[in-house]
């Protein structure tokens, strides 16, 4: 019986090793890596830009997002005045404005294959939030989904009132509400880290809901 007793600690240790390996494997599977290349087109010249750079009114932006796992991605822009815009996904032929899943390893251009995010005349600090989740947002985070829905409703009202395709709130109460959302999202967001060797930004989230942040300084047009 002594040999069997001697095996008990060994078997117990091996069980712990297997359990730990399973936990680490689950966490590795749950990780969601996001990589973003950002470019700005100014005066006919396109260049890469990094978090914290200074851009000017009239500049046009494009983002290229890549995820390590298939994920639903949403992009919201907050300007200094409190105007919020859901810039991705937008309604396109064959694509819903509600949810859009980017395949693992694929690179998606934002706002779409041909469009740009053009900076208006509202100067100040601006924030781009990229929300990534392996489930549609309405199933993963109801409160965050409600925030996006309210922003979209304001856009629809503004567009209906102005007759243009540019979303502007122009309303102090919604703008103030959006600033509250901005501050709340900033506290929760993971800041994207710029990597000079790849000229891209990267960060790691999880399989639930992760908010990634990219910010820049918006300066007036040069006179």
Residue-by-residue pLDDT tens, the chain, 223 positions = 455 555 555 554 555 544 454 444 444 456 889 999 999 999 899 999 999 999 999 999 999 999 999 999 999 999 877 788 899 998 766 666 678 899 999 999 999 888 899 998 888 999 999 999 999 999 999 989 998 988 888 877 776 655 544 434 344 456 667 777 778 888 888 888 998 888 899 998 876 789 999 999 999 988 7
- Specify the residue for token string 């090793």: 17
Measured CA to CA, the distance from residue 169 to residue 76 in angstroms comes to 14
If one counts every other C-beta atom within 10 angstroms of the C-beta of residue 118, the result is 12
- Report the C-alpha gap between 144 and 167 in whole angstroms: 20
pTM score, whole prediction: 0.78
Residue pointed to by tokens 């503004």: 158
Q: How many residues does the chain have?
A: 223
List Cα–Cα distances, 3 to 9, 11, 15, 77, 166, in angstroms: 11, 13, 19, 67, 78
> Token digits for 46?
């396109």
Is the separation of the CB atoms in 51 and 201 below 8 Å? yes
Domain range annotation of the chain: 1-30, 31-219
SS3 content of the chain, % helix, strand, coil (to 5): 30, 35, 30
Q: Residue 211, exposed/middle/buried by CB under 10 A (0-12, 13-18, 19+)?
A: buried
């Amino acid at each position: 019986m002594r040999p069997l007793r001697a095996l008990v600690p060994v078997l117990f240790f091996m069980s712990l090793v297997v359990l730990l390996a399973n936990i680490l494997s689950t966490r590795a599977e749950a990780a969601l890596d996001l990589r973003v290349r950002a470019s700005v087109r100014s005066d006919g010249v396109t260049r890469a830009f990094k978090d914290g750079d200074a851009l000017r009114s009239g500049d046009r932006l494009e983002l290229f997002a890549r995820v390590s796992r298939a994920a639903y991605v949403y992009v919201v822009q907050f300007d200094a005045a409190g105007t919020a815009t859901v810039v991705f996904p937008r309604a396109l032929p064959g694509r819903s404005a509600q949810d859009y899943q980017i395949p693992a390893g694929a690179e998606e251009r934002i706002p779409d294959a041909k469009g740009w995010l053009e900076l208006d005349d509202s100067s100040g600090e601006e924030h781009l939030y990229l929300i990534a989740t392996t489930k549609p947002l309405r199933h993963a985070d109801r409160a965050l989904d409600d925030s996006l829905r309210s922003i979209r409703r304001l856009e629809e009202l503004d567009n209906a009132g102005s007759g243009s395709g540019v979303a502007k709130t122009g309303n102090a109460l919604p703008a103030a509400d959006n600033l509250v959302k901005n501050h709340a999202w900033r506290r929760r967001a993971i800041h994207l880290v710029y990597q000079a060797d790849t000229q891209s930004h990267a960060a790691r989230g999880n399989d639930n809901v992760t908010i990634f942040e990219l910010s820049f300084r918006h300066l007036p047009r040069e006179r």
